[in-house]
Structure 1
Amino acid sequence: MDALPPTFSLATARAAGLTRAQLRGGRYVRISHDLVVRLDDAIDSRERLRVLATALPHDAAWSHTTAAHLLGAPVDLPARPHVALTPRRVLPQRSDLVVHGRRLLPDDVVEVDGLRMTGGAQTFLDLAAVLPPAELVAVGDALLRRGHLSPETLLARLSRAERVRGVVRARTCAPLLSPAAMSRPESLVRFWLTDSHLPDPEVQVPVLDRWGTTVAHADLGYRRYRLLLEYEGRQHADSERFGADVDRYSLMAAEGNLVLRFAARHLNPRTVVGRTERALLSRGWRPGTDPRAR
């Protein structure tokens, strides 16, 4: 059995005398319907994709939510990996993969940690066909922030995407992207506000003291109305982080700002837009004024 290579087919396993019971044991893992790996160490998701790639054509590239996850976007790795292949008369299908036909140019593909995948712009375009606008903006923000996407590369890809499914949504959301958004919830809140009748919020708003020194930054806000918005994730529950947050909020309030704080339970457009509207009204904003003014 030790003479078997690290990766082998079921036919090779049977020829070597491995039984089904042995293959179901802890020493082996079935990566796909015809691909088995001998495990000396634990295998993680990226290593599984590397092994799967050995059974795919040379033009294969991980795509859609698989590529987005690998590039650091806030999406879960799907149970069935997505892969893009150059269209053929008969596109290979596998029960363990979601296969897409794509004519990819060299600029549409990148290699990260030994994995061949669609680049940021192509991934954004692919996901525009399946994600709602708010989630698409969150993905785009993360790709921008991590350097896998730029306004120039996205514009170039979308300019040659006539009649591609999802391109209208991609073109609508592209101008809304910001690399300054630090998390998916921040991106969602910003999109809901931008998509509403309220003024567009500013991202990473600096808070200045009376001497003009920056003492804090808010996730989002409206400097004109001295209104700041903060999202509280789980990391804020840490005792040390909690103390630092108290200092930040005190500094923000000391300079005359009203701070709205949102948590996961508030993460829906009705709550975010409704509370922000009431806060803006309390700070002097009135409907009918320039909705784009900060």
Structure 2
Amino acid sequence: MVGGLPLTSGPQTFLDLAARLPAAELVAVGDAFVRSGEMDAASLARRLERADRVRGVVRARACAPRLDGRAASRPETSSATGRRPATCPTRSCRCRCATGGGREVAHADLRYPEWKVALEYEGRQHADPDQFARDVDRYSLMAADGWLVLRFAGRHLGSPVVVVDRTRRALLSRGWRP
């Protein structure tokens, strides 16, 4: 109960939404639940074990392994969990980028550490002058430590071909071979 209103648990809400949302949206909601602490893998697994014949359970079970809560926003979740073409290597999500000496310089939304290629989603909050100044510092530090940072905005998420093409070209420029 919150303010006199009954609420369902994160796992129950995730299951309820699975009957109504496409998989990508469901993963974004699930990531937000995990990130906020409203749900964890164990509590979701327990709920889904008891959900035979519940509408949406197949989608919920298919999406559950994709949840980790590391993406900081819905667009990050969308780009991180989007289809990875066979022509690109496996990426890491929401991971730290460090110098050779281990000094952390940034957290990249997505990264390919072997080739030092990082992908960043730039939402509207990055237009704030203080955030913009922090971004300049962060990207300068990453570049000084050898990282190539590809920056994307909301308009790019509507065309994953653009993101995949630019990422693939960046990886090839860094020595990756398919």
TM-score, normalised to structure 1's length?
0.56
Task: Write out per-residue CA displacement over residues 37-85 of structure 1, whole angstroms, 9 at most, x where no aligned residue.
Answer: xxxxxxxxxxxxxxxxxxxxxxxxxxxxxxxxxxxxxxxxxxxxxxxxx
Q: Which residue of 2 aligns with 1:207?
A: 97
SS at match of 1:260: strand
Partner of 1:196: 85
State the AA in 2 paired with 1:212.
G
Consecutive unaligned residues of structure 2, counting only runs of 5 or more, are: none
Alignment of structure 1 residues 175-254 onto 2, 5 Å: 175-193=65-83, 195-197=84-86, 198-254=88-144
Return the match for 2:12 from 119, 122, 139. 122
Structure 1 CA distance, aligned partners of 2:175 and 2:55? 43
The answer on 1:283 being equivalent to 2:174 is: yes
Give the direction of change, closer, same or farther, for the CA distance of 1:115–1:279 in structure 2 (3 Å limit): farther
Higher relative contact order (CA 8 A, sep 6+): 2
In the alignment, structure 1 residue 273 sits paired with structure 2 residue 168: no
Identity percentage of aligned residues: 59
- Report the Cα distance in structure 2 between the residues aligned to 1:232 and 1:113, rounded to whole angstroms: 36
Q: Distance in 1 between matches of 2:165 and 2:53?
A: 37
Equivalences, count: 176
Larger Rg: 1
The runs of 4+ residues in structure 1 deviating greater than 3 Å are none
- 1:113 Cα deviation from its structure 2 partner: 4.0
Per-residue deviation, 1:208: 1.5
- The secondary structure found in structure 1 opposite 2:20 is coil
**Cα separation, 1, equivalents of 2:177 and 2:65:** 26
State the match for 2:62 in structure 1. 172
Instruction: Give the RMSD, CA atoms, in angstroms.
Output: 1.6
3-state SS of 1:152 partner: helix
Consecutive unaligned residues of structure 1, counting only runs of 5 or more, are 1-110, 288-294
Higher helix share: 2
- Report the TM-score, using the length of structure 2 for normalisation: 0.91
- Between stretches 213-222 and 243-252, larger displacement belongs to 213-222
